[in-house]
């Protein structure tokens, strides 16, 4: 995440640069630093909106997320790709 972290952007597999808002970046950074971790904590609507925006930017198919997963009655969990 090095340079991209300071520039607040993602690089898609296609090479496209995708800009991130500050809140989206912080949430993705939290996920990457804590993969496969789920915590029982209440999430508010603002987090749901950030998750939705991040899924649109990170997931191959945002309607069927594989990396940012919903954990019923708990919140969300980041699962890194197998590659």
Model's pTM, two decimal places?
Answer: 0.61
Specify if 9 maps to a domain. Answer: no
Query: In CATH, what number is assigned to the domain containing residue 43?
Result: 1.10.10.10
Residue 46, token pair as written in the block: 């603002």
7 inside domain: no
Range of the domain at 38: 22-83
Q: Which residue has the higher pLDDT, 36 or 3?
A: 36
Please indicate whether residue 83 or residue 33 has the higher confidence score (pLDDT). Answer: 33
Q: Is residue 16 part of a domain?
A: no
**For 5-47, how does the pLDDT look when each residue is reduced to its tens digit (9 = 90+)?**
567 788 888 889 999 888 888 888 888 888 887 665 555 677 8
Q: Which of 3-7, 57-61, 65-69 has the lowest mean pLDDT?
A: 3-7
Task: Please report whether residue 77 resides in a domain.
Answer: yes
Flag whether 61 is in a domain: yes
Per the CB < 8 A criterion, the answer to whether 10 and 3 are in contact is: no
Helix axes 22-33, 45-58, angle to 10 degrees: 80
* Domain count for the chain: 1
């Amino acid at each position: 995440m090095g340079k991209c972290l300071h520039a607040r952007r993602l690089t898609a597999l296609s090479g496209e640069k995708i800009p991130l808002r500050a809140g989206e970046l912080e949430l993705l950074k939290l996920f990457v630093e804590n993969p496969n971790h789920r915590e029982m904590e209440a999430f508010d609507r603002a987090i749901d909106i950030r998750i939705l925006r991040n899924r649109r930017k990170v997931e191959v198919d945002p309607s069927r997320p594989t990396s940012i997963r919903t954990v019923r009655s708990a919140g969300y969990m980041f699962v890194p790709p197998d590659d």
